[in-house]
Amino acid sequence: MVKAPIAKKVPYEITTHGDTRIDNYYWMRDMERKDPEIIAHLEAENAYTKAEMAHTEALQAELFEELKGRIKEDDASVPFFYDGYYYYNRFEKGLEYPIYCRKKGSMEAEEEIILPVNELAKDHSYYQVGGNAISTNNTLLAFSEDTLSRRVYTLRFKDLNTGEFLDDRIEGTTGGVTWANDNKTVFYTTKDPVTLRAYKIYKHVLGTPQSEDVEVYHETDETFNVGVGKTKSKEWLIIHSGATVSDEYRILRADTPEGEWQVFQERERDLEYGISHYNGSFYVLTNKDGATNFKLMKTPENQTEKTNWEELIPHRDDVLLEGIDVFESFLVLSEKSNAQSKLRVMKWDGSDDHYIAFDEEAYDVASSTNPQFDTETLRFSYTSMTTPPSVFEYNMETKERELLKEKEVLGGFDKANYVAERIWVTARDGAKVPMSLVRHKDTKPSKETPLLLYGYGSYGITVDPGFSPSRLSLLNRGFIFCITHIRGSQMLGRPWYEDGKMLNKLNTFTDFIDCAEHLVEASYTSPDHLYAMGGSAGGLLMGTVMNMRPDLWNGVIAAVPFVDVVTTMLDESIPLTTGEFDEWGNPKNEEYYHYIKSYSPYDNIEEKDYPSTLVTTGLHDSQVQYWEPAKWVALLREKKTDNNKLLFHINMEYGHSGASGRFEVYKEIALEYAFLLDLEGHVNPSH
């Protein structure tokens, strides 16, 4: 019998604002990820998890085949037309990675493979293509690759006429690349080698070594990250410096890559804005003058300071303006109101203004790839808890829509077998919190029904009610699945986010608990059959609600969890820290220190019973360092007073996003589902 690893204790004092914390597991931190004692401990954790889950191996294998079996192996994306070519990705049976292709002029033309990713990946256990961009004359491809899973990319180039890869290689980038209009100059962003902050923009001329690249911008403020891009009009190059509550852009004519960059509107704290360009004007999406949910303004391209911005779409208290698409005759707004994504189509001449209508109660709709200005056709994506991802073309003039593709789900899927609903919960302070729920039509809510409650609730990121083919394996075995749209997201607009960050962060956790309590009180489930899951900042959510209400959950899955919040936010050498002071607060400020400490999962573990828990991470995680969950598990194992499972699975090859291949990821999902099903005694047989 394999015993649970018991980590050694080496007291490490951290004193802040006169408050001393003793961290007995601080020794697990190793930025190099080479310490043999730490590696041995992590491998022992993996061995323990494997032994504890050995009796589920047949179930895991069954789940893996089931999950993989829903995926159409010889699939392809919907082609989009750009600069004379139709571009698409396709998969071949048995291969893990996409093949990037294009056809000139029509889909009947001969296929040109522009990037054979499977060939590039064959010598790597992890391989991920980051950005890719075609030169203005359509003859050169720039792309980036990550072979470690640290989200640090190498830029490479390919001559599409000859099929040969160029000698140019640019190391240490964010993965994005932008062409100037001269077809020989590219701009890219590099990362600080220690903190991984995107901080410098360089210019590279093809055929020259990286050592000769020119630094065109250095972002010295450690709370900002930078990136470089190009407007849809192809007329302007743009550098964006962004922090949580502030933006600044620099612009340069794309025809003059040697020119001087001009500041669009200099940064101001609490002034956020984004820019689009069309026909001599810039369109500015901004929160200027207290427009919390954002408004749309317009300014001439030679007068870009905010004093010249003129309002086109005013701010609305009940509608979040998330984005825009500019066309020659139409303006398309991406909005969110009453916890629902919406697309609004307006004619510039004022003769029409309408929303695209849908039948379902809760869904996710978003503008898709729309590279052309001179068109009446809008391409958008649509999904719901019961509808697989779909791509539509919509005629903005006639209002006719055409379904180009609904993602095929193999294995006998029929959307009529599933039921989705939207539930509103009154939180303890009176706020109305929406939830999206899905179940098999034969699964009746009851005290005996297993329910998986999912949450995130940070950075203003909204987990919209979308479809998951993997999730069917739980639904078909009698589980209900529910997403909580808690504060910290933007499901109910920007104020919903503001009310779940900084000194309001506790609302995120209490919202999740209040949603769980409602589901129990309404007899959707009971604590004996209620499970919680979240990843990254959602893993912080898991750790906190486990401390606050350990009695509510029969099991918890915490993926790549951000659980050592105080220590991490005090350490500015760790990736992400400096850029997140306006999300969590800076604990060097005493008020924030004590507030963060009040909910930080690692700092609030007590001697009490905890639910069965599965924790997952990747050794090379660049977002949440592996030692956070490693320390958390060690302390939980030391303190907890129950005999419930505490399992820790560390992928020794991957990082924050898990495996890179399209099938490999299902092995980890199979482990997670087997963990839940095992706690349920394998639940009911499939419907």
Output the DSSP codes for 184-196.
Answer: SEEEEEEE-TTT-
Say which of 213, 364, 564, 621 is annotated catalytic: 621
pLDDT at 662: 65
Query: ∠289-292-293 over CA atoms, to 5°?
Result: 125
**CA-to-CA distance for 373 and 233, rounded, in angstroms?**
8
In which band, very low, low, confident or very high, does the pLDDT at 687 lie, cut at 50, 70 and 90? very low
- DSSP, res 25: T
Q: What is the mean pLDDT of residues 78-104?
A: 93
Output the CA angle 645-654-62, nearest 5 degrees. 55
Q: Tell me: pLDDT of 18 over 70.
A: yes
The answer, yes or no, to whether residue 565 has pLDDT greater than 50, is yes
Place 655 in a pLDDT band, splitting at 50, 70 and 90: low
Segment (H or E) for 127: none
- pLDDT (mean) for 655-676: 78
CB 89 within 8 A of CB 99: yes
Evaluated on CA atoms 660, 661, 667, 669, the torsion sign reads positive
Is domain 166-406 annotated with CATH 2.130.10.120? yes
**Residue 644 in this model has a pLDDT that exceeds 70:** yes
Using one digit for the tens of pLDDT, what is the confidence trace for 62-86?
999 999 999 888 889 999 999 999 9
Percent of the chain with pLDDT over 90: 89
Whether residue 428 is predicted with pLDDT greater than 50 in this model: the reply is yes
Q: Is 536 a catalytic residue?
A: yes
Average pLDDT, the chain: 94
What 515-520 contacts at long range (C-beta under 8 Å, 24+ apart), as own/partner pairs, is 515/425, 515/433, 515/435, 515/453, 515/455, 515/482, 515/484, 515/486, 516/453, 516/545, 516/549, 516/552, 516/553, 517/552, 518/423, 518/425, 519/451, 519/453, 519/482, 520/552
Over 70: is that where the pLDDT of 686 sits? no
pLDDT band at 312 (very low <50, low <70, confident <90, very high): very high
Neighbours of 482 (CB within 10 A): 24
Of 551, 531, 521, the C-alpha closest to 425 is: 521
Bridge partners, residue 350, by sequence: none
CB 407 within 8 A of CB 394: no
Q: At what angle do helices 36-52 and 627-639 cross, to 10 degrees?
A: 60
Going from the C-alpha of 36 to that of each of 23, 42, 651, the distances in angstroms are 21, 10, 16
Q: pTM score, two decimals?
A: 0.90
At which residue do the structure tokens 């609490």 appear? 270
Told to judge if 364 belongs to the known catalytic residues of this protein, a careful annotator would answer no
For residues 178 and 229, give the distance between their C-alpha atoms in angstroms, rounded to a whole number: 6
- Sign of the Cα torsion 69, 75, 80, 82 reads positive
**Hey, what are 650's tokens?**
């560390």
Kindly name the residue from 536, 600, 612, 660 that is annotated as catalytic: 536
Q: What are phi and psi of 356, to 5 degrees?
A: -75, 125
Q: Which of 204, 440, 649, 656 is catalytic?
A: 656
Mean of pLDDT values over 18-32: 96
pLDDT in tens, 446-474: 999 999 999 999 999 999 999 999 999 99
* Annotated domain spans of the chain: 39-68+417-679, 166-406
- Rounded to whole angstroms, how far apart are CA atoms 311 and 307? 11
Domains 39-68+417-679 and 166-406 share a fold: no
For residue 654, the model assigns a pLDDT of 67
Q: What type of residue is 602?
A: Y
- Asked if residue 685 has pLDDT above 50, the reply is no
Cα–Cα distance for residue pair 114/312, rounded to 1 Å: 41
Residues 6+ apart with CB under 8 A from 348: 329, 330, 331
Please report the DSSP string for 610-669 in residue order: --EEEEEEETT-SSS-THHHHHHHHHHHHH--S---EEEEEESS-BTTB-SSTTTHHHHH
Q: Which of 24-33, 294-303, 533-542, 678-687 comes out lowest in average pLDDT?
A: 678-687
Average pLDDT of span 576-583: 82
At the topology level, CATH places domain 39-68+417-679 in Rossmann fold (3.40.50)
Is a pLDDT exceeding 60 seen at residue 659?
A: no
Catalytic, 621? Answer yes
